[in-house]
A and B are shown apart, each in its own frame.
Chain A
Amino acid sequence: MYIHSILRALISTLVPRHKSLPPVDEDAFAYMEKSMKHIPFYLRFLMILGLYFLQFSPLFLGFYFKPFTKMTPQQKDHYITTWANSRLSPKRNLIRGIRALCMIGAYSNPAILSHIGYTIDEHIRSRT
């Protein structure tokens, strides 16, 4: 689906990356997909509308003259920064909402949890 390609491009910009870590894009995308089934239809509708706006507004309102998915990683990063810090709350809230869901997926990945030093299983074992 076209919306998935926009979402994947956005996720690839949002998720944490590090050379010693495996990519967590798929974890984030899988959680987004799972969540979309559960969130209320009005939020889902607004999210999809917002994603299309995010995709095509650079053609008309920015100086990129190409849709979001066709941008270089640096351009994507800059473009998403402007959305995340926008004075328009719908733009900010779209990034905030998708970022939140993405991060739950990404930070459920054992490699990234281990990278930041969160060793919960060890903690549970030591206390019980």
Chain B
Amino acid sequence: MMIFTGKEITEDRRENADVCVIGSGAGGSVAAAELAEGGLDVVLLEEGGYYPSKEFNSNPSEMLPKLYRDGGASFILGSPGIAFSEGRCVGGGTVTNGALCWRLPDKVLKRWNWEHGLKDITPSELNPFFEKVEKSINVAHQKPESIAKGDYMFKEAAESLGYKVVNQNRNQKNCVGLNQCILGCPKDRKQSTLITYIPRALEKGTKLFADSRAIKIMKSNGVFTVKANVLDRETAKPRRKLTVTSKLVVLACGAIQTPVLLIGSRLGNSSGQVGRNFYCHPNVKTLAFFDKDIYYWKGAHQAFKIVDFLDAGLIIATGGVHPAIIAMTLPYFGRKHLEFMEQYNRMIGAGALIEDTTSGRVIRAPGGTPLMFYNIDKIGFERMRLGVALLSEIMFAAGARKILLPFLYLDEISSPDEIKKIYNPSIRPKQTESLTVHAMGTCRMGTDPARSVVNQWGESHDMKGLFIADASVIPTPIGVNPMLTIMALASRSAQYILDNKRTLNLI
């Protein structure tokens, strides 16, 4: 297998390939594997490190800096400021996410057609790509014995209130509920691309360069040149240079880094849309406290979802994570903080994902750092209130005695009668604690070159042979976890490239 990590690259290096894929997350790994299997010579660049799953452990202070960009502490500026985390390692977000797999809702595809002219992307056209991806990453329901007790409490309470609860699809095989998804599954039960698509790409001769950050893309005489810095993993400083020449480039750095790379390379932005239309599914969370031990971390979480509120732009589910992750979001400190954390085994964390009703922007700051801006609008904030109210209702129905809320001046309620306080007009968006792990948009897909960055196949309107295969091409908010959509669209783009080798000068 040709995996080159930063420390193995001891001098400046040049590579030549048919295709240079930049980014090895959900989109890049699918594109790399399918293009390599289609007979193309592929070089895959990844800014993060290569960590096989035997190196994963349950220590967040060790794993977060290894697997996440900014050690998991990125931040979206705005009102309110939104804490943001994304994977930065070989396998990208598929290594660090909660393994939730949703197909793109049909209503979203209609909107893509009406708003962006994407009439050829229909459910029947996209379904074969979803099926192919789902098979590759083993999308399935959790085995009942692997599911955490807290999830069953959530399900029973929601059903007692008349809400419809269904099993979530997750990309896992024989998951036993170790609850280590976000720190990397140490037993390879989560079917991330690290153990699915990337080995397939490597099997077909793909050269994978980890610790290699692409900094510029150029094109002259029909040939692309990608310049990358090989990074020192400890300091994140450039050590060596890597130059890749290729006939095609597939950008898959995610919705934050892809626009920054395009802007820095002065490519693909004749529409002025690069970096705009940034969507992030802001989340709000609650923590419910019970009188008995629940051990919510003993088992898989997010095994169920409530689907009654999809049309209202909400997904509601629970999430049992490492104490450090809970601790970083508690609104207290010192002794009081510890008093809450001492009840860790008696708490259930739950959250509501809000479908965006507005958009933000990603810009490139000097030095190539992205800056993200996003302000919640009135409708989005009302969705947040509704999400928190529903979560509170369900948790009280499950027997909670107290619920911590994400509002600065209403941080706790102790009975269902107090839920109405969530609708107090004095609670403002900027006083709300929000977080997210989804970033989309910023290089949107569409048929009108004046309003979009790439066409329906993910190819730049401005530059033939420059493809984008990540969440940045998603043209509207989708309201569901985006991994599967990213993978299906990347597979569709790869199929297009293979079907058009001649016109793309690949043969």
Contacts and interface: CB of A to CB of B under 8 A. Distances in A.
The main secondary structure of chain A at its interface with chain B is helix
B112 to A, nearest CB: 32
Interface stretch (A1-9, A14-22, A53-61, A63-71): A14-22
A116 B324 CA distance: 11
A48 to B, nearest CB: 15
B73 A17 contact: no
Interface stretch (B28-36, B271-279, B326-334): B326-334
A84 B333 contact: yes
A30 to B, nearest CB: 8
B75 A97 contact: yes
Given A43-B73, A43-B75, 11 more contacts: A14-B333, A14-B334, A14-B337, A17-B334, A39-B71, A77-B334, A104-B328, A105-B61, A106-B327, A123-B297, A128-B176
Interface residues of A, number: 48
A103 B58 contact: no
Contacts of B61: 27, 30-31, 34, 104-105, 108
Contacts of A18: 335, 338
Given A117-B344, A118-B297, A120-B58, A35 B65 contact: yes
- How many interface residues does chain B have, given as a range? 35 or more
Contacts of A89: 79-81, 430
Interface of B: 58-62, 64-65, 69-75, 79-81, 83, 176-180, 186-187, 234-236, 297-298, 322-325, 327-331, 333-335, 337-338, 341-342, 344-345, 365, 367, 369-371, 408-409, 430, 433
A16 B337 contact: yes
Nearest to B176: A127
Contacts of A99: 328, 333
Interface centre among B179, B328, B369 (most CB of A within 10 A): B328
Contacts, number: 140
Contacts of B408: 85, 92
Interface centre among B80, B298, B324 (most CB of A within 10 A): B324
Interface string A88-101: 01001101110111
Given A85-B408, A104-B64, A124-B58, A118 B81 contact: no
B365 A42 contact: yes
B8 to A, nearest CB: 22
A113 interface: yes
A12 B178 CA distance: 33
Nearest 4 interchain pairs by C-beta: A16-B338, A108-B61, A107-B324, A100-B328
A42 B371 contact: yes
A38 B60 contact: no
A85 B188 CA distance: 42
Interface centre among A15, A80, A99 (most CB of B within 10 A): A99
A124 B327 contact: no
A15 B430 CA distance: 26
Contacts of B72: 104
Contacts of B59: 108
Given A16-B338, A17-B334, A116-B341, A35 B58 contact: no
Contact of A34 (B65, B178, B330): B65
